[in-house]
Amino acid sequence: MEPLVQDGLAELGIDIGLVHDVSRLAGGASGAGVFGLCLAGQPVVLKVSTRPAAQGEAGRELRFYRELAGRVPVRTPALLKGSSGAGRDVLLLDRAQPPSPARDWTAEDWLDVARQLGELQASISLAELVEADWPDGDPGPPDVDARARLWHAAGVGDVTEALFTDLERLQQARTAPAPCLVHGDCHADNLLRDGAQRVWADWQVVGPGHGPEDLALLWQRAEYNGAVVPRSAFLATYAQARGLRVDADFEQAVTAAEIDLLLMGWPAFLLERADTAREVLVRRLRTLAATWNGSAANVS
């Protein structure tokens, strides 16, 4: 049994003798190890931090399950036990079925996720989050120069140079929609199943945002993994569920969020590869840049 599992069980006061069939489900990049196991015959998930949480991050996911999970309109795993101390979060959750890969989603699946995401983001107001002193998910300013160098070295500098010089306007556009609750790590691997129902998991960075950032991550991760994303239909269903109008300003915000994620979030992971998936996202960046430059010309 991995030491991380033993530590997590001890933190929760669970007798190791009651546990069997332990397997690692995920872990590493998110800062937590996720394990499937049977506890007294019940299939459960143990999630244990692998490193101390950043300032303001400790206990966020545990707080979500205790304070917000019962109020959001999406299905979430049930919290069975939880602990947060010494910078380490430990959660014991009921276990759902594995997710369906986004490349296998039907048009109906995409629209169902769009509706649920819109309803989720509309469910809890910013005022309530502020009153509860809920931390935002801002990781701090990124190293822009380092990312610009990565894109230039990858031969995409002809596209990215102008975008990097326009970062301030991109950021303004990305954050133009009214603040709302965002999942923060919205992608297909975090949409588990319980029969026909979706189970929204991994709430480590849930908090205030603007909305388009969830869309950008969901769409781009799906495309990287071979999915064809029906963006227009998704956006219309999502906006209706959230109570928004899809106008030029909102479309620009979504474009800006996608550009921001590609410029800042992907380079270290994406650009060390030379595969079809990388080229899908590079082509997407070129398309977005053309859209952005066209909108910039229209307001000049």
Q: Which residue has the higher pLDDT, 86 or 41?
A: 41
DSSP state of 185: S
Domain end: 94, 110, 128, which one? 94
Asked if 233 and 290 sit in the same domain, the reply is yes
Q: Is 71 within 8 Å of 128 (Cβ atoms)?
A: no
**Closest among 109, 126, 105 to 208, alpha carbons compared:** 126
Collapsing DSSP to helix, strand or coil, 4 comes out as: helix
249-279 pLDDT, tens digit each: 999 999 999 999 999 999 888 777 777 888 9
Pair of tokens at residue 286? 């070129």
Asked if 80 and 160 sit in the same domain, the reply is no
- pLDDT score for 58: 65
How many other β-carbons are positioned within 10 Å of the β-carbon of residue 131?
9
Q: Report the C-alpha gap between 19 and 151 in whole angstroms.
A: 47
**Closest among 255, 175, 253, 190 to 221, alpha carbons compared:** 190
Q: Whole-prediction pTM value?
A: 0.93
Q: Is 191 within 8 Å of 163 (Cβ atoms)?
A: no
Q: How many domains does the chain have?
A: 2
Asked if 82 and 210 sit in the same domain, the reply is no
Collapsing DSSP to helix, strand or coil, 83 comes out as: strand
142-196 pLDDT, tens digit each: 899 999 998 998 889 999 999 999 999 999 999 999 999 999 999 999 999 999 9
Q: Report the C-alpha gap between 68 and 93 in whole angstroms.
A: 15
Domain end: 52, 69, 94, which one? 94
Asked if 255 and 281 sit in the same domain, the reply is yes
